[in-house]
Amino acid sequence: MTRYISTRLASLVPILFGISLVTFFLIRLVPGDPVIALLGLEADENAIATLRRQLSLDQPLVLQYLTWLGRILTGDFGRSIQGGREVLPLLLGALGPTAILSGAAIVISLAISIPAGIVSATRRNSLADYVCSFVALCGLSMPSFWLGVLLIMAFSITLPWFPSSGYASPLLDPLGHLRHLVLPAVTLGAALAAATMRMTRATMLEVLRADYIRTARAKGLSRRAVVWGHALGNARIPIVTLLGVQLGQLLGGVVITETVFSWPGIGKLTVDAIFARDYPVVQGAVLLTATLFVLINLLTDLIYTLLDPRLRLT
């Protein structure tokens, strides 16, 4: 197991190196002079020269990359062009709200998808199965921003129950925080629930066909014990895997949801920085998100190995 973990960790190195290369060259893809693109045509000579030095644009490309990478590795993500704040604290400050939103979305999604998936699988081709499967397909087909807009129209405008946008600190105003959290978390959780429900259903169907389930039934175990005790035990492996993949995808999904609901997380920070042409923040946010994404995927693989004893031996 230790060997497996170290091999997997080692495989991260080229990926993270690649991510850093892509992120570094992204800003170099801006058409024209990046410094002019950053500062605008009216910028004065001094500011241009300073930024050019700051971005190491006066050096050969390889050296530029190495200098940049050295800074990143020591936690220096540069400064925001808007307001001059350091990028790293900005990013870390936005991570909290994103983590809260993602966590809430996962709780909502699991609470809906696992029971729905099990019901669908154990009562295959029943009305309940058709309804659950159809709702899940609708959830998959629903663009999250439209669901967000519909929820705002229903529960902020028609029924003024929840605020349509903004954020309240969980420490200073816990109730206000929860009220702000509901709509974005449901929006984000819905797509997740749809995919997880389909996976739960498919996996349970597969597992329920297995010989040991027939044995369990034959020896007179109750339906509940068979489904929850025997079947779900094995079905959880692919479900956990999918959940990990989805958790990674949430990092993309928050971009849209946070923008619709003005939730001050990493997604909204990225979009705002894109529109402000604040490239150091864009670069930092993309780098951080991609790194987190890769780490979550690795963690998923490790949990998968832990859950499935067969994989531990290899």
Binding site for other proteins (CB under 8 A): 14-15, 18-19, 21-22, 26-27, 29-31, 137-138, 140-143, 145-146, 149-150, 152-153, 157, 248-249, 251-253, 255-256, 259-260, 270-271, 274-275, 282, 286, 289-290, 293-294
Give the bridge partners for 86, in sequence order. 79
User: Could you give the angle at which helices 279-307 and 87-122 cross, rounded to 10 degrees?
Assistant: 40
CB 180 within 8 A of CB 151: no
Name the minimum Å distance from CB 293 to other proteins: 5
Q: Which is nearer to other proteins, 12 or 221 (CB)?
A: 12
Q: What are phi and psi of 171, to 5 degrees?
A: -85, -40
Name the minimum Å distance from CB 279 to other proteins: 8
Name the minimum Å distance from CB 250 to other proteins: 8
Q: Which is nearer to other proteins, 142 or 307 (CB)?
A: 142
> And the tokens for 6?
């170290």
Q: Which is nearer to other proteins, 226 or 285 (CB)?
A: 285
Q: Which is nearer to other proteins, 226 or 258 (CB)?
A: 258
Name the minimum Å distance from CB 258 to other proteins: 11
CB-based contacts of 193: which residues, under 8 Å, 6+ apart? 108, 109, 110, 112, 113, 116, 136, 139
Q: Which is nearer to other proteins, 18 or 40 (CB)?
A: 18
CB-based contacts of 28: which residues, under 8 Å, 6+ apart? 34
Q: What are phi and psi of 168, to 5 degrees?
A: -130, 145
Name the minimum Å distance from CB 198 to other proteins: 10
Name the minimum Å distance from CB 295 to other proteins: 10
Q: Which is nearer to other proteins, 294 or 303 (CB)?
A: 294
Q: Which is nearer to other proteins, 21 or 225 (CB)?
A: 21
Name the minimum Å distance from CB 269 to other proteins: 12
Distance CA(54)–CA(74), nearest Å, equals 16
